[in-house]
Every structure is written in C-alpha cells, then in structure tokens.
A and B are shown apart, each in its own frame.
Chain A
Amino acid sequence: MTSLAEIRILPPLAIARLGSAAEPVNNYDLEVSADQPFGFRAIVEAPTLVVDEATGAIAAREYRPVTFKDGDGRIRPVAPFLELWGRSGHGEDDWRHLTMHDLKGAMIRWRVTLGNLKVFRHTGDVRDQVLATTGWFSRHARMALEGRADNFLAGKHIPFGDVRYVRPTDEFPQIRVRYTPGHGHVYGADAFVKRADGTYATDPLGGVVADASLRDVVFDSSKSRWLGFNEPRPPNTPLLPTITVPPRVFAGRDGPNDGDWISRGYLDDACDGVIEVEVHTSGTTLRSFARLGAGPPAFVPDSYSMRTLSDELEQALLGAAVDPDQYTDDELQAHAEELLRRTFETVRLMNTTIMNGNASGGQINVTNTMVRMDHAETARAWQPFLAPAIVDNFAVQALHHSIFTVLRSGASPWFASALRQFDEIGDLTDRGRRKMPVMMCGSDGRYLCLTRRQYEKLRIAATRLVSRGTTKEAP
C-alpha cells in the first residue's frame, strides 16, 4: 500500500436530486452558444460512468444521451459519485484519486448518516427527527438508507435512497461511492386512510378529500404532534424567535384563530447528512468525511440563478473581501458577463408583470409578491416597484440583453451602484426597492441581494476595467 499522509472525500459537498426513474441522469456540461449568447445554455453530453447493477462495478465510461425523465415520465435522479483522494506528502499538487492499488491490503469502510429534521424544526420534539444510517460497511451492494423516527408508526420508514461502494476493477481501479437519492415522494400521518385503489383519503382536519400523491403514512399521531401542529402568527404580534422566516413553509391550512397555520402532517424524502470513510492499515487509521444531501430536481437545468449555493460557498471559503490581484481583467469581465447572463436567465422564468405588482384582469394583489410582503408585513402602501408600463417580460429581458451586450464590447460593468448591498435588503424606500435584483426575495424573506463577494468582484471590475489605459492595435 502507498504510504498516505491524509485522505479526503471529494467533492466535500454533493447534492443529489430526487427522482423515481431507475436510471439516473447522465453526465452533462452546459455550454453557451457563441452565435446566440441570449439563448438557452446547451446541454452537452459528458463522459458518464455506468455502474453494473449486478456487480457494483463500473461497466463503461461513455457519452450517453441526456434526458431528465424516462420513457414513463418519471424523473431521473441525480446520483453523485464521491471519490476517495489522498496524498503522501503535504503539497497541494500531491492530491490524487486513490485506486485499489494504492490501498492494497488496507481495509476501507464507509458510513452514511442522513436525516430529515424539518418536522423537528417546527415541533421541537426530538422524536420527530427522521434519521437513517447504513452503519459501517465495506461491501459493494446497495446499502439502503431507511429514515426512521421514534414517532413513526411501527415498522414504517421513509426511504432516503441508498449508497454503494463501487467495486474497483482493473479497468476502473479508483475508489468511489455513489449515492442514489429517494424517489421524491410525500409521506403523511396516520389520519389518512388507504383506499382500495392504493390512494389515501380523509384528512380529519377537513381539508384534504383525497391525495393521490401520498406514498405512505408514517407519523403516529398518538405520539407525534405534527398532524394538526399549529404554528400561529397572530397579527400585530412579534414573531416568535423559533419561527421560520418566511413562516408557513409546510403544507397547512388556516385554523379557528386569526394567524393560525395548522399542519396537514406531510413530510418528504429530502435529506442531508454526512458520509464518512476510514482506511485501516496495520499501523494507522485515516479518516475523512463529506457532506451529502438530496433535494428537488432542477427543473430548469439550462439556467442558473443570480445567487447560487456555489456563490455562498465561495464567500465562506475565500471571504467577503476580494484581493484585486486575485483576478485578471478577463476573469473579472467574465464574472460580470456570467452575472448578467444569470440575470436574464432568471428574468426569463419570471412573470415580471405580476411580480412587479401590476394588476391582472383589473385586480391587484393576485399572488404572492414582494409588493404583497411589503404591504402585509410592514403596512407599506401598495406600490409596484417599477412603472407598470415597462415591465413586460420581453422588454425586461431585452434591457438586460442590452446591458450584457455592452459588457461584450469590453466596457466596464458600470452598474454596481444599482445593485442592492447586503445591508439594504430591508430598505423599503422607492429607491431601495428598485435596486437590483428587483422583485425577488432572499431566503431570509427580505429582498434578494448578491453575496458580498459577488458584489466586490463587480465593484473591482468597474474601477479597474474602466482605466485600463492602453489602446488596442488595429484588428
């Protein structure tokens, strides 16, 4: 065995996406068309590792067509691989993907622990925590992850998917595991009654007549308070510190008192947790872990949001401040372009007319918007963000296309002052509400803003690129 100083599971964070199809999504890249920069990003096939179901070994590495649903309309899950890397020395360039040859004679074992704590988040009852673990394993079979809670009915669980230690072979000797998430089902409490056709019906709370999407009933209402749990938010009363922001993030209905929100007892199979690995040799044990999660499918796989988890992680890793020498002019310009691209990709998915607070069919306040939030939460006068005449979606897209076009000319991104900063998310003045991104809500319930690091890169680009000073030779 190669002498190792330390090991890592890479990537350190993997996000699976729920789906009930048997075959996961094949690997792909997103590419921007050179001729049509405002078009959708092209989904381009990338090498896919094909795992043999019977042996657990990789049977092939090949390009395969990319589809997001199977022939029966079921969503293909995203099932990430996690690789075991190690290094003998301490140089950053020493890291390499370990193979069975590197670890010959060593004992490798894995353990995955996942949980869904959404109900616990609301009820505060630790017996509502849904947890699953594989225990330590070294086999190459699929290891099921069965989410169980003390407050579940006897024998019931929520499948969180499975994990498999991929069998290394001479052709594919690398050490890796694969996590296949759950199917994306909804589970309920025991007040539902299973009918002869397999569907569930009769919510004693009176709201649900039938629910064909319910997969199983798991919560035992004689033990769990989840079904019928009330998370009240009485008007003109300060929010409890334990309440989520925004509130009412679970399926529920109004109750007898103003501000009541009563749970219908649902829970899904989204989850997150850790995967651990140990490499035992005669003298040492090396350990590492990575984080793992499963969330909803990406229904717009060819677009990105302005602010993504990747941006959050970059800021957490590198800090909010940006060293100007860290990026070249071209990198800063590419950052500005990518941000603009994500902006019009986001606008493309919005009904900007309605999100602006315009009337629809002569009625205002027709759906949940930030205009409504301002009005309801702060008693601010009902007021659209922008002039109602100019918020047609195509027009807003066209405007962002124009700004992107300017960046393509090599001009500096001059618009940093129009962007909302992190400490302006509660600015309800006309000027504050019109800052970009407009009309959109962040995870804290107030206006969305870029990360401080995203903003800083734009600011530096604006100051540096405008003063490049040198002139170009003739084309």
Chain B
Amino acid sequence: MRTRFAARPVAPNPVVENSLAAPGPAPCHACTVITHPVTRFWAHLFNVRYRLLLSGLTHIFESPDASITGAPPTARGELITLVFGEMYKLRGLASLLVELPVCNEVPARREVAGPTFEMPYTLTIPRRERDRWRWHLDMLVASRGILGQLAMLDTDAGHRGFIAALRDGDAELIRRIEQIAASLDVPRSGGTI
C-alpha cells in the first residue's frame, strides 16, 4: 500500500542543465539537475514551450491592438491564442513533471521532478514581423524534435497519448504560422534585392 502525501516530493529548483552554475565561483546548490533519461526530455520540452510562451508575449506587446468592435480577427489575436494555448500546455507538462522521477537512482515516490521554468538565453525580439513568426516557428520545430525523441523513449500509454495530442496540435500550429509568415514575405522581382 502506498503512502499518500499532502504534497508531492518535488525536487528543489529542478533544471535540465546546470551549465550556468558550474563554472562560476558561486555554484547553484539549490538546483536539482534532472538526469532521468525520459524525464529530462519532458523537462527540456517544458523549457522550449516556456520560451515559446515568453516570445509570444513579447511579440504581443510589439503588435498593435485592433480589438475594437467590428474588427476582423488579427495576427495579434493569433498571438493571444498562441500564448493562452502555451499556458495550457505548460500546465499539462507541469502536471506530468511532478509525477516523474528526477533520476534513475531515486524512485518517483521519493522524489519527483517539476516544472523547470528556465529562462531562455535571450528574449530579444527580431525586428521584422515575418522573422518574429519564424522565431516562433523555430521553437515549434525544436519542440517537434523533442517530441520525436519522447515518442521513442516514453512507453507509458498515457504519456504517448499526450505526445500524440501535442504533435497533432503543433502540426496545425506550424501550418498556421507558416501561412502568416508567408503572407508577410516581400515579393521578389527583377533579381534586385
């Protein structure tokens, strides 16, 4: 019979990689590096999606507000939807991470990982609008690669259903962003730049 706890045994400040702390003079003792071969991919995915959320938010603040009555849906609206969607997905990933082990040596009933919320190396937004959308697209492509890894590594049936939903949703999202990015491309003519 398992013991039921009031709270999950979440590791302090879980991170995928502690490279920032390692060479410095003041190591980050509070960090817990996730080394479990499956969990670390989920955590890495969390970080990429978190970066997508932050980039989307940054992009929104650079986009004009056209949300007046009678206005048609706008790219800003798409961004708002993207950001809310990513918040939901982070919720799902966080729910999963608080049930997965940090490492092979310690079982999940003793210690689990958790949402990593690692800040990306930059939040500087590209200057051109089409590049901003490609920026989001790059993160979705990166996410697709991690999901591909997880599809191979994670054998849990429930997790595989989650992976399938993420992949299916991302495929549509990528298609939409490609459409938006394409609509912003400047037509080339006459061989001049």
A residues lining the B interface (CB < 8 Å): 34-39, 353, 358-359, 362, 364, 383-384, 387-392, 394-399, 401-411, 414, 469-475
Contact = CB atoms under 8 A, between A and B. Distances in A.
B84 A35 contact: no
B74 interface: yes
Contacts of A383: 69
Interface residues of B, number: 58
B18 interface: no
Given A399-B88, A402-B169, 8 more contacts: A37-B168, A39-B168, A389-B80, A392-B78, A406-B88, A406-B95, A408-B165, A471-B109
B69 A388 contact: yes
Interface of B: 2, 4-5, 8-9, 36, 38-39, 65-74, 76-78, 80-82, 84-86, 88-89, 91-93, 95-96, 99-101, 104, 107-109, 112, 154-156, 158-159, 161-162, 164-169, 172-173, 176
B72 A409 contact: no
Contact of B164 (A34, A391, A399): A34
B89 A387 contact: no
Given A34-B164, A389-B67, A474-B101, A359 B92 contact: no
Considering the complex of A and B, which 9 residue pairs feature the smallest CB-CB distances, nearest first? A409-B92, A392-B73, A402-B85, A389-B77, A406-B92, A359-B70, A411-B95, A390-B77, A395-B81
Contacts of B89: 402, 405-406
B88 A403 contact: yes
B168 A353 contact: no
A387 B109 contact: no
Contacts of A399: 81, 84-85, 88
Contacts of B172: 38, 394, 397-398, 401
Task: Identify whether the interface residues of A are mostly helix, strand, loop, or mixed.
Answer: loop
A398 B85 contact: yes
Given A359-B72, A389-B80, A471-B108, A406 B168 contact: no
B182 to A, nearest CB: 15
B88 A405 contact: yes
Contacts of A364: 69-70
A473 B110 CA distance: 10
Contact of B108 (A407, A410, A473): A473
B78 A358 contact: no
A359 B71 CA distance: 7
A410 B101 CA distance: 16
Contacts of A410: 95-96, 99, 158, 162
A409 B45 CA distance: 13
A407 B99 CA distance: 15
B9 to A, nearest CB: 7
